[in-house]
Structure 1
Amino acid sequence: MLILLSVCLLSQPAQCHEDRIPMAYEGTSPFACLRHAQSALAVWQEAHPDLHVARWRCAARGTLPKDL
């Protein structure tokens, strides 16, 4: 599973891009991704203090999501 993020610069909120957080476990349900996403997002946010997570969602690896 992946967590797909839409992130924006804090200094320029109109500048946004997409990022991905690969989850360490494979073959789990979307519910498991949702359950573990909050802690993964907190770790990601701590490592990227200049960015703000505008929205996110879980997606299966190997799929090409159309958008957030």
Structure 2
Amino acid sequence: MLILLSICLVAQPTTCKEDRIELSYEATSPFICLRNSQSALATWQETHPEWHVARWRCAARGSQPKNL
């Protein structure tokens, strides 16, 4: 599963882009993704302090949409 992110620069909130977090396990259930997403998002945020996560959601690999 993937966590799809819509992120914006903290210093320039109108500058946004999309990113993704690939989960290290092959969870097939959206519930499992949601349950584990908070720690993955916190880790991502710690390593990207200049970005703010505006939106996110879980998606199965290979089926994610082009836009969040």
Shorter-chain TM-score: what band?
Answer: over 0.9
Where structure 2 has 5 or more consecutive residues not aligned to the other structure, the ranges are none
Q: Distance in 1 between matches of 2:43 and 2:27?
A: 22
SS of structure 2 residue aligned to 1:19? strand
Which residue of structure 2 lines up, in the alignment, with residue 7 of structure 1? 7
What CA distance in whole angstroms lies between the structure 2 residues aligned with 1:44 and 1:55?
13
Contact 2:28-2:60 within 8 A present in 1 as well: no
- In structure 1, the partner of 2:51 is 51
Provide the C-alpha distance between the structure 2 equivalents of 1:4 and 1:40, rounded to a whole number of angstroms.
11
> Which consecutive segments of 4 or more residues in structure 1 shift more than 6 A?
none
Q: 1:67, CA displacement in angstroms?
A: 2.5
1:6-25 paired onto structure 2 within 5 Å? 6-25=6-25
User: Identity, % of aligned pairs?
Assistant: 71
Cα deviation for residue 27 of structure 1 reads: 4.1
- Equivalence map 1:24-35=2 (5 Å): 24-35=24-35
Aligned residues: 68
The unaligned stretches of length 5 or more in structure 1 are none
| TM-score normalized by the length of structure 1 | 0.94
